[in-house]
Amino acid sequence: MTERKIIHIDMDAFYASVEQRDHPELKGKPVAVGHAEKRGVVAAASYEARKYGVRSAMSSVKALKLCPHLHFVEGRMEVYKEVSAQIHEIFHRYTDLIEPISLDEAFLDVTENKRGIELAVDIAREIKQSIREELHLVASAGVSYNKFLAKVASDLRKPDGLCTIHPAQAQEFIDHLPIESFWGVGPATAKKMHTLGIYNGRTLRECPLDMLTRQFGKAGQTYYDFARGIDHRPVEPTRIRKSIGCEHTLGKDISVKSAVIIELYHVACELCERLERKDFRGNTLTLKVKFHDFTQITRSTSTGTPLHTLKEILPLAKQLLAHVDYQNHPIRLLGLSVSNPKEDTPTPPPLTHAPEWIQLQLEFK
């Protein structure tokens, strides 16, 4: 069996880098894409801003406290989409097996590539160079024999990184990899793993499969495989939509029941419009709530019938909300998503901890 050659390309500080490229006066300065106003949120931050602790999803107020000379720039989503298309044109020079993860990252399967280049690392190097010379942007790349390791490799030497994890080196590398660096392990999961004595790939590999599935459900099999360098997922050029969602960042924190219900109604209406536009139906409704202190929770419920209309969705959303204590914890953001389309067949759990949220443009109310 031919060993696969997978590349993961991740654009460095993509939105902020595009803004610095198009506005030379911002080069070398800390830049945040988003609104500087009181209720604003950072959508992306340049590496100069990250040195001060500024991160995406951070409130603008906190970002400015960390970096008083931070330059805020309004987001231009249409421009980012156009640049992303140009990046994909470069990818297609080498392979058509491209799986986009977002506007700024993708997997490429170059096992058999259009230019007959033997080493995947040489292809990754050429792609990085073309992006730099033609688009004046910087990308990081990870190369390995599966998606998990290629993704981890691309994160190792950012920015402008290029890292290869060879099969012969994989197990030793994984054994020393902090559990927080495993794809799909977020802060909550990492904390739970720490309580179980799991701190890196080696301690994860020592855990029996039945213990991991008992503690983490279906994701336990994924963690078990990853600890052994196993990931058979193919690079899928066509991604089947698994969910549709939307969220509203509120103008002010709210805790009064009537105000929360009104906002929930507006989010539900927006969600139904998106479902109608995409002709999507799913059996699971998920409520996302972010509180005033930026902590957040999700609550889900599944039904036997596909969800599509406001009449079906709003009552379920209210039921989920009834189990949320927001009177003592004012709400900053409300979101809803529909997932689990009926025609789905069982698949490995997604390597994220939330549904595929679709942010309402790049605006924060």
The single residue of 19, 48, 99, 105 carrying the catalytic annotation is 105
Query: CA-to-CA distance for 219 and 326, rounded, in angstroms?
Result: 30
- Classify residue 152 as left (phi > 0), alpha (psi -120 to 50) or beta: alpha
In this structure, are residues 83 and 135 in contact, taking their beta carbons and an 8 Å threshold? yes
Helices (H), the chain: 14-22, 47-50, 60-66, 77-91, 120-135, 147-156, 167-176, 187-195, 201-205, 209-216, 219-226, 257-278, 310-321
Show the tokens assigned to 246: 């939307």
- Annotated active-site residue 343? The verdict is no
- What is the spatial distance between Cα 146 and Cα 166, in angstroms, rounded to a whole number? 10
Cβ atoms of residues 4 and 143 within 8 Å: no
Residue 130, helix vs strand vs coil: helix
Q: Please list, in sequence order, all residues whose beta carbon lies within 8 angstroms of the beta carbon of residue 36, skipping any fewer than 6 positions away.
A: 60, 64, 72
Catalytic residues: 105
